[in-house]
Amino acid sequence: MKKFLLTVIVLISTLLGLSYSGMLPLEYLGMEVSQTDEEHSEAPPPTFSETHYLPIDPPFIVNFTHLGALRYLQISIEIMYPQKDIIDRVIEHMPAIRNSLILLLSDQPFEKLSTFEGKEVLRGEMVAAVNEIVYRGSTVEFPGEMFITNFVMQ
């Protein structure tokens, strides 16, 4: 009997722990979850049915050194935002964006650029650099994305 009782207690505490952590919703267990008026009054997050792409032309060509030899990197990128007015802000600030990206790209070591992980880190740094310029002085931010469409190291 003690073994059965211990098993039931462990099972119930496990289910409640999973439910509390969000891994198992209470509705799944047949329990009703009450929501406060505050939760009902929250507006749903905005959804974006459109995506807008903008190629950053011309491609970036920067030089760097590797083992004492001068090397070149050519990279083409496109950015994507969910709203057209953000793309318009990117176009408006294109000189500052290109300057920031050229400085960022020319400061990269060969070892970083030659691995997939390094390219992903670089892409994240470039997105952050563009967003910093686009959203400077703005209180609203929408997630942007950047795609590398051409990457040549020589």
Domain layout of the chain by residue ranges: 2-31, 52-153
Query: Quick one: pLDDT at residue 107?
Result: 86
CATH code, 52-153: 3.30.479
| Residue for token pair 């650029």 | 113
Cβ-based neighbour number of residue 101 at 10 Å: 21
Q: Which residues contact 54 (CB under 8 A, 6 or more apart)?
A: 78, 79, 80, 81, 87, 90, 91
Alpha helix ranges (H) inside 22-115: 37-41, 84-92, 94-106, 110-113
Of the spans 16-20, 97-101, 111-115, 144-148, which averages the highest pLDDT?
A: 97-101
pTM, entire model: 0.64
Condensed to tens digits (0 to 9), the pLDDT of residues 21-46 reads 555 555 555 555 555 545 555 655 54
* pLDDT above 70 (res 148): yes
8 A C-beta contact, residue 90 and residue 79: yes
